[in-house]
A and B are shown apart, each in its own frame.
Chain A
């Protein structure tokens, strides 16, 4: 237990170093663009594929579970839409990104640590934590909401394709369902969550990578620890935010 408090303390000290920005703004913006591309734009593919399939599967499963004449068909569209807006596109996509982006960040920063590249930055007088990690955090916080919006659109479209291509329900009922009793705040709530998740996805793996001691084995271990810690923290923060915003 003490070890967790100790690690938490180290994490906040690390964040203080990350946000004590003293490098050139021009360098920061240049790295920010690179990180948005590497961490955000290069994640669009996986988010799109997973969202399309999950949207389709939610539609099929909901339709099979609602084979009851009392329940109108359009509820399938409504259930798909709300599942995607409330949880999948923010939380589940964040968990997927914690694996993809998180392991990438931890191993990249960890390798820089064991190959003395971070020491080289420090020797030059560069704030290495700020130089390496701040653009990653900013990139994820900025781009994660876009990924969530893409996921929402593609997921709902996946369900729409199923409705159109199969005979489990009518296309018109699905379209009616996704418009029925729409609560715009669900989108706002989901996007607020993505800001927090983006921060976690970038900062936790960077912390584990930055503090690697040893060689390549430790980089691998740090990467695993980073993903596990990020996933747990995302779930915990999701619980708290849901309680705050929806209860």
Chain B
């Protein structure tokens, strides 16, 4: 479980996060949603320590991340898997080497054990016959799947996904969402997904935090998101004509 307590963050005295508090639960798909520029990525990167927060605290299973020294943070980070918006696969390494990288850096496993783990992770994300290819030689969807394989190679306790569907077609997006969701349940890990994809929200939002202009505006789940009276949330959720029609249909059914 990850707890965010009264977090503030600014860049050059421009406030980006303003008093955000939330609890991300283990074994659930925790979603951070909001418009572009609302502060989602800054919050996610603050939680993993890529940005230092100005005020507040971030607790990993009760341990304060903000007050940890560099070595303690590195130990926590070995339990973190992260899927970046652009995949962030290493250009200089093949698919296999990318997935193997954390194992080479942090484990004393034998070559055979490492190969088995790499094959297991790649099979888990349905990657076949691409082990020796470079990231530039595979599609965007495959890159995301390889990035997921790399993120889970060390059996993480926490999985962070920054816009996992960005740049993907709807069908591949669903594949990626399903993959993240099933891995979360299977490994019983704390997953935090940063997204503005409404399909992800309605299908996988076990717990949802909505932020606008750096402030927490609403929290709930996929079951309650359509019944909120929060104007900012409704503007975000019903921005698409599909969901507008859905709301109109719902209103007419109620009458």
Contacts and interface: CB of A to CB of B under 8 A. Distances in A.
Interface of A: 22-24, 27, 111-112, 115-117, 119-120, 122-127
B150 to A, nearest CB: 8
Interface stretch (B26-34, B99-107, B117-125, B169-177): B99-107
Size class of the B contact interface (CB-based, 8 Å): 20 to 34
A184 B104 CA distance: 46
A112 B50 CA distance: 15
Contact of A119 (B50, B102, B106): B50
B102 A122 contact: no
A239 to B, nearest CB: 37
A124 B84 contact: no
Given A115-B86, A117-B91, A124 B50 contact: no
B123 to A, nearest CB: 22
A41 B119 CA distance: 35
B77 interface: yes
Nearest to B77: A125
Nearest to B71: A22
A116 B88 contact: yes
Given A115-B88, A116-B86, A125-B106, 9 more contacts: A112-B91, A116-B85, A117-B90, A120-B88, A122-B50, A123-B48, A124-B77, A124-B78, A125-B75
Contacts of B101: 124
Interface string B66-80: 000000011111101
B82 interface: yes
Contact of A27 (B84, B90, B105): B105
Contact of B80 (A23, A112, A115, A123): A123
Contacts of A112: 91
A23 B85 contact: no
Contacts of A123: 48, 50, 77, 80, 82, 160
A14 to B, nearest CB: 15
Contacts of A127: 74
Nearest to A126: B105
Contacts of A22: 74
A112 to B, nearest CB: 8
Nearest to B104: A27
B82 A120 contact: yes
A126 B160 CA distance: 17
B58 to A, nearest CB: 14
Nearest to B75: A125
Interface in B40-80: 45, 48, 50, 73-78, 80
A217 to B, nearest CB: 17
Nearest to A131: B105
The 6 closest A-B pairs by CB, nearest first: A125-B77, A125-B74, A116-B88, A120-B88, A116-B84, A123-B82
